[in-house]
Amino acid sequence: GPICTFNFQAEVSSQHVNNVFKVFKTIDSDLYPRLAKLTNVVTSDYVTANFVSTNSTQSITGSKTFNSNVSATGFVKTGKDDTSVLLAGGGDRLLSSFGGIEDLTSSAFSILDEEAVI
């Protein structure tokens, strides 16, 4: 069985809850103008300013640097479809412009001075 059980009932008055909300409103009304001045971000929630939400559609503008891997189910460039390929160096290119892929599975090759020789 449990080492210790707690059996108590807390009574919280509506006045107490209203006082807590007053404190939060005071903090919010003080921090919000400071945040807007420092970051040029207009938001009603100073806690999430400049952060990307995971539960809504958003546009991310400007340069962004990621210092670790970015995983996604897909990346889509506006105005493009699955006939284009996103290039690692930036931009895109039509898949058909690559001229095709040669099947090397049945080709014989060897390694000579760290280079593949067919």
DSSP string of 26-95, one letter each residue: HHHHHHHHHHHHHH----S-TTSTT---SSS-----S----SS----S----TT--TTEEE-TTSSEEEG
Show pLDDT as tens, one digit a residue, over the chain (118 residues). Answer: 556 666 666 666 677 777 777 777 777 677 766 666 666 555 555 555 566 666 777 777 788 888 888 888 888 888 888 888 888 888 889 988 888 777 766 666 666 666 666 6
Amino acid type, 49: A
Strands 110-112 vs 92-94: parallel, antiparallel or unpaired: unpaired
Residue 19 to residue 25: CA distance in whole angstroms: 10
Please tell me the pTM assigned to this model.
0.33
